[in-house]
Structure 1
Amino acid sequence: MILALGFYDYVTFSALIFILVGAMAVVLFFLGLPGRIAKQRNHPDADAVNLMGWLGFLGVVPWIQALIWAIKETDVVDIRRFPPEEQEVLDIQAKKYLSERTKKPKAKPGDAGQGTSEE
């Protein structure tokens, strides 16, 4: 006995597919919410918050922690999000610091062989 599918069967299948797609869209929206909030607020750990938000589907607690982390104020300054002019100044200062640090003190001509060893 073969049952024929009627109009209401197709309407039911269409409604179920529509509900499943809508539910997936809502789930995906909420999983990405902490990451979007962190990026919008220029959080220095926005990438980590985003990852923790997406992995939060494994348990509710990590997602809640990611959301709190995204909203929480921070004292850390993220230099990656500075304006280009400020970034240029920081690059110049970093090069100056590194060049000063890598310079070795010059040895005086009379210092060769003179140690401070106690005998």
Structure 2
Amino acid sequence: MRRRFRGIGRGRTTRRVLERGGAGAAARLNAEIGAWTGARIAPMFGRWGYFVGERLFACFPLRPKEHDLWMHLPLAEQRRALALDGFRPHRRFAARGWVECDVSSPAELRRVLPWLRRSYEATRRVEAP
């Protein structure tokens, strides 16, 4: 009797949205963040994960029907973001500096890109040796 081993045999096909680098707002967001020095984009648990080194600074859903962008901000920046309309504390990780906002179209990215940049820069400062 031969045992089947995981990973042997025909592999899974890659989802088209992953091959294209996202769809809708995610495609534009991936193109923007992908141009930032040291930023890395990887799919994780149904979301695009945006990293600097090994640290996650933001994530956005893979599915076009979901619109909640999560960002990690320093405490002072988190307070400023939450004072604005459209930002809310993350449902589980607010105490760790995470905020959420909805981005349902590529045009809405202009509103959140400065905040994403702040998140990226803060994470980059922490990650730098």
The TM-score normalised by the length of structure 2 is 0.27
Relative to its length, the structure with more strand (as a share) is 2
Relative to its length, the structure with more helix (as a share) is 1
Higher relative contact order (CA 8 A, sep 6+): 2
Return the index of the structure with the highest Cα Rg: 1
